[in-house]
Amino acid sequence: MTVTTPRGFRAAGVAAGLKASGALDLALVVNDGPEHHAAGVFTRNKVKAAPVLWSQQVLTTGTLTAVVLNSGGANACTGPEGFQVAHATAEKAAELLDCGAIDVAVCSTGLIGKQLPREVVLAGVEKASAALDTSGDAALAAATAIMTTDTVAKQAVHVDPAGWSVGGLTKGAGMIAPSMATMLSVVTTDAVVDPDSLEEVLRAAVRVSFDRLDVDGSMSTNDTVLLLASGASGVRADAQALTAAVTAVCRDLARQMQADAEGVTKRIVVRVTGARTEDEAVVVARTVARDSLVKTALFGSDGNWGRVAAAVGYSDAHVDPDRIDITINGVRLCTGGVAAGGRTDADLSGPDIVVDIALGLGDGAGEILTTDLSHAYVEENSAYPS
Amino acid sequence: MTVTTPRGFRAAGVAAGLKASGALDLALVVNDGPEHHAAGVFTRNKVKAAPVLWSQQVLTTGTLTAVVLNSGGANACTGPEGFQVAHATAEKAAELLDCGAIDVAVCSTGLIGKQLPREVVLAGVEKASAALDTSGDAALAAATAIMTTDTVAKQAVHVDPAGWSVGGLTKGAGMIAPSMATMLSVVTTDAVVDPDSLEEVLRAAVRVSFDRLDVDGSMSTNDTVLLLASGASGVRADAQALTAAVTAVCRDLARQMQADAEGVTKRIVVRVTGARTEDEAVVVARTVARDSLVKTALFGSDGNWGRVAAAVGYSDAHVDPDRIDITINGVRLCTGGVAAGGRTDADLSGPDIVVDIALGLGDGAGEILTTDLSHAYVEENSAYPS
């Protein structure tokens, strides 16, 4: 199960007609309470989609009753008309759910620069509202309806022995990049929570999950992660336990995004230790993870540690070139900045590659999940308009 | 002609045996004077190749008699042994040319992490010394001997009506990235120059030529641009005229590198106007030029301006999303951040694409030369070890 595993939530996914294929393309997630606390993290892109501008605005109250999500169009670079469509979408859901438009967030994904057909969206909201259900099938339909180049629906759940749970759904396969929410995701919990700490809980979880996934370095206009808390379990969760659970669910979802990234043939973890600080470790890991020459080498199952060393060297972190150790899939290839073995000593033929970089300067550690740069990535992104 | 067009210079390119193919792989450029002023710009990568460390050291005197350049190995991540090979290379050339090792710069390119075979290099220097010549053929051999994945030798020349000239050779097809010299290049002039201004002349030229070329965002460990002045024309060039001429030669060389970049199928210019400052214009242009989704779209001849807008939005420069105009190959596709035409209105079927981005905020303007992200780039870099 997923977003409907926590009590107090219903979901639906329907075919509104936004995708020419007739596939599911509009989802609705509703929090039936008794509480309606919510927090959100949004893209830091200065070009923000209309639904991001709308949802940031409504989230200032700290409460949400529902989220409408659609694929088949990002509603980004659509001006005042696009904002009106996002607003009308929220109003339509509010009317059907007997709440205010200010209680409804909107998320969109798909091609940038295309207006969404208002009547199609509004009819879709009505259809979704009629399909709302607490079942796993309904949650799966919602997770499916937000897919773009994703090939599988992505859901995760954490059931706490104390009697509450956290569920999540997400989408995202390309335009996935550093330092922000990086896709659309809705995470639900039935724990009774301290509303004042909810945003902090979400930020802490996102920082070490979605923010540590970097497929192609491209920051989207639409990235949104929402956390909704219904309190329906009647069991209070302290901020620490809730943070751990939300982090576990977000990490699970991020790993699913990595595994289903555009054109992926290798799931790569770049782990950095021995940096002066955690931030510097992440900077080094991200620089290596984004380097096209590293990504193409790993696509070719080539343990080209020299390209890794070059990327470490041009990162914005402090490094000592004579202390860099590089280990790939458990085989040390570089010690103290110099070759420690043949480039072919490490077996990279499988789908999982771990690049360990030890900087020898301090205790800072951090990792980034990424993917290789493959022919399939080029094919998908030169042919698919997103 | 090229580096031997200015009087006072000889060049050679020979097959030393560093490349298994038996192709030319070692070049020598000699300044016979009467003056020996020189300036250099080097990679800002913290992991610097041994020849970069050597050449930075010898350049502190502001004079050079010769430059030894080799392909077939970068001599990077090679530790003390690698530095000794670079040093021995300079000593060998000094012995043959009757100068000091401190008068000889060394440049290397090829695979990172592999030791260069010292005796092979030294024998190559001897062979090159015997082949030194002022002819165009000799200069072409030198330009050819430094090629790696380059498919053509790259040379340029500027003849000043006042009676002096500037010539240059360069190599570079991948691992070409922002904010530094970006490859190996030797530029010669027979103008009589003010030695104190020579480094400033070179930095000014590089800033708007090689530094504005970004193929794959990967900063090399070996990038070096050297400017040698022989004074052999007997004609004094003021700093302004010399800067203009060196800039023209460097721009010509940078355009040749763009046209021969790894896997290139499109030569792309990203031009930004209306930024608050020139620096911010370049930041925006570079962010767009490095975006994998923009590069794959243009490979597919797809005028996907939404991806351009998204990249503008996540750049580190100040932008107003409602003022962004985007024009591709002369067709306005986005006005004020909103669609102004169909994505298919611009004809991108040819090899040249110009992306014009107007920010509407000020007078800052700048451009970056880049290339598309093609199947051939992926193929070349997943199969070729560099």
- Which residues lie below 8 Å from residue A318, measured CB to CB, with a gap of 6+? A275, A276, A280, A361
> pLDDT grade, residue B175 (50/70/90)?
low
Amino acid identity, position A8: G
Mean pLDDT for chain A?
A: 90
Residues 213-232 of A with CB under 8 A from B: 216-221
Q: Per mean pLDDT, which range of A175-179, B19-23, B196-200 is the poorest?
A: A175-179
The tens digit of pLDDT for each residue in A159-205 reads 999 999 999 988 877 666 544 334 788 899 999 999 999 999 999 99
Judged by CB atoms closer than 8 Å, whether chains meet at A77 and B309 is answered as yes
Which residue in the set A114, A174, A291 is minimally distant from B293, CB to CB?
A174
Boundaries of every domain in chain A: 9-259, 267-383
What angle separates helix A239-259 from helix A198-207, to the nearest 10 degrees?
A: 40
Q: Choosing from A144, A182, A273, A371, which is the catalytic residue?
A: A182
Give me the residues of chain A with pLDDT under 70, please: 1, 174-182, 384-386
The tens digit of pLDDT for each residue in B104-127 reads 999 999 888 889 999 999 999 999
Backbone angles phi, psi at B257, to 5 degrees: -65, -40
In 10 A of CB A53, how many CB atoms?
Answer: 18
Task: Output the pLDDT for position A179.
Answer: 41
- Please list the alpha-helical segments (H only) found in B98-224: 118-131, 136-145, 195-207
Q: Is residue B182 annotated as a catalytic residue, yes or no?
A: yes
**CATH assignment, B267-383:** 3.10.20.340
Is 60 exceeded by the pLDDT of residue B349? yes
Task: Output the pLDDT for position B385.
Answer: 47
Do B7 and B228 meet the contact criterion of CB atoms below 8 Å apart? no
- Which residues lie below 8 Å from residue A205, measured CB to CB, with a gap of 6+? A243, A246, A247, A249, A250
Whether A174 and chain B come into contact, CB under 8 Å, resolves to yes
Q: Which of B116, B280, B307 is the mutation pick for testing A, counting most A CBs within 10 A?
A: B307
Find, in chain A, the residue whose alpha carbon is nearest to that of B115: A339
Tracing tokens 């919990």 back to the chain, one arrives at A189
The tens digit of pLDDT for each residue in A11-42 reads 999 999 999 999 999 999 999 999 999 999 88
- Please list the alpha-helical segments (H only) found in B225-354: 239-259, 278-290, 292-299, 305-314
Whether A362 and chain B come into contact, CB under 8 Å, resolves to no
Annotated binding site of A for substrate: 148, 171, 182, 262, 381, 386
Task: Output the pLDDT for position A180.
Answer: 39
Task: Output the pLDDT for position B180.
Answer: 39
Judged by CB atoms closer than 8 Å, whether chains meet at A216 and B292 is answered as yes
CA neighbor of B191 nearest in space, from B176, B178, B201: B201
Find, in chain A, the residue whose alpha carbon is nearest to that of B339: A113
Whether A269 and chain B come into contact, CB under 8 Å, resolves to no
Task: Output the pLDDT for position B179.
Answer: 41
- Please list the alpha-helical segments (H only) found in chain B: 50-58, 79-97, 118-131, 136-145, 195-207, 239-259, 278-290, 292-299, 305-314, 375-383
Amino acid identity, position B314: Y
* Residues B250-259, mean pLDDT to the nearest whole number: 88
Cα separation of B188 and B2, whole Å? Answer: 8
**CATH assignment, A9-259:** 3.60.70.12
Cα separation of B51 and B59, whole Å? Answer: 12
Judged by CB atoms closer than 8 Å, whether chains meet at A375 and B378 is answered as yes
Of B45 and B133, the structure prediction assigns the larger pLDDT to B133
Cα separation of A381 and A386, whole Å? Answer: 8
Task: Output the pLDDT for position B174.
Answer: 66
Q: Per mean pLDDT, which range of A90-104, A111-125, B211-225, B252-266 is the poorest?
A: B211-225
Which residue in the set B46, B111, B336 is minimally distant from A321, CB to CB?
B46
CA distances from A80 to A42, A84, A236, B226 (A): 20, 6, 42, 53
- What do you get for the CA distance between the two ends of chain B, in Å? 29
Cα separation of A11 and A139, whole Å? Answer: 5
Cα separation of B157 and A124, whole Å? Answer: 65
Of B36 and B216, the structure prediction assigns the larger pLDDT to B36
Q: Per mean pLDDT, which range of A176-190, B11-25, B211-225 is the poorest?
A: A176-190
Whether A383 and chain B come into contact, CB under 8 Å, resolves to yes
Tokens of residue A62, six digits: 């700290």
Judged by CB atoms closer than 8 Å, whether chains meet at A221 and B310 is answered as yes
Q: Choosing from B5, B182, B243, B370, which is the catalytic residue?
A: B182
